[in-house]
Chain A
Amino acid sequence: MSIMHLNFYLAFTLSSLGLAFHRTHLVSALLCLESMMLSLYIALSLWPVETQTTSFTMMPMLMLAFSACEAGTGLAMLVASTRTHGSDHLHTLNLLQC
Chain B
Amino acid sequence: MTYFVFFLGVCFVLGGLAVASNPSPYYGVVGLVLASVAGCGWLVSLGISFVALVLFMVYLGGMLVVFVYSVALAADPFPEAWGSWDVMGYSFGFVLVLVMGVVIGGFAECWGLGVVTVDSGGVSFVRLDFNGVAMLYSWGVGMFLMAGWGLLLTLFVVLELVRGLSRGAIRAV
Interface residues of A (CB under 8 A from B): 1-15, 17-18, 21, 23, 25-28, 30-32, 34-35, 38-39, 41-42, 45-46, 48-50, 52, 54-58, 60-62, 64-69, 71-73, 75-80, 82-84, 87-88
Residue in contact with A35 in the complex, picked from B19, B105, B113, B140, CB distance below 8 Å: B19
Q: How far is the CA of A67 from the CA of B113 in the complex (A)?
A: 28
Query: Are B110 and A42 in contact (CB-based, < 8 A)?
Result: no
Q: Classify the secondary structure of A's interface with B.
A: helix
Residues of B within 8 A of A66 (CB): 147, 150
Q: How far is the CA of A10 from the CA of B36 in the complex (A)?
A: 15
Chain B 47-81 interface mask (CB, 8 Å, partner A; 1/0): 11001001100110011101100110111100000
Q: How far is the CA of A23 from the CA of B23 in the complex (A)?
A: 9
**Given A9-B101, A27-B75, also A80-B162 (CB < 8 A):** yes
Query: Are B132 and A48 in contact (CB-based, < 8 A)?
Result: yes
Residues of B within 8 A of A28 (CB): 22, 24-25, 28
Given A35-B31, A65-B150, A84-B170, 18 more contacts at CB 8 Å?
A: A1-B109, A2-B112, A2-B114, A14-B20, A14-B97, A28-B28, A39-B16, A41-B39, A41-B59, A52-B120, A54-B132, A57-B132, A61-B133, A61-B136, A69-B154, A75-B70, A78-B70, A78-B74
Q: How far is the CA of A45 from the CA of B54 in the complex (A)?
A: 11
**Given A10-B98, A50-B115, A76-B162, also A25-B13 (CB < 8 A):** no
Question: Nearest Cβ in chain B — how far from A33, in angstroms?
Answer: 10
Query: Are A4 and B126 in contact (CB-based, < 8 A)?
Result: no
Query: Are B133 and A75 in contact (CB-based, < 8 A)?
Result: no
Residues of B within 8 A of A26 (CB): 74
Query: Are A18 and B20 in contact (CB-based, < 8 A)?
Result: yes
Answer whether residue B143 sits at the interface, using C-beta atoms and an 8 A cutoff.
yes
Residues of A within 8 A of B1 (CB): none
Question: Nearest Cβ in chain A — how far from B92, in angstroms?
Answer: 13
Question: Nearest Cβ in chain A — how far from B95, in angstroms?
Answer: 10
Query: Are B172 and A84 in contact (CB-based, < 8 A)?
Result: yes
Query: Are A7 and B9 in contact (CB-based, < 8 A)?
Result: yes
Question: Nearest Cβ in chain A — how far from B164, in angstroms?
Answer: 6
Residues of B within 8 A of A88 (CB): 74
Query: Are A31 and B67 in contact (CB-based, < 8 A)?
Result: yes
13 contacts between A and B (CB under 8 A): A3-B113, A18-B19, A18-B21, A31-B29, A45-B43, A50-B116, A56-B132, A57-B51, A62-B140, A64-B55, A68-B58, A80-B170, A83-B162
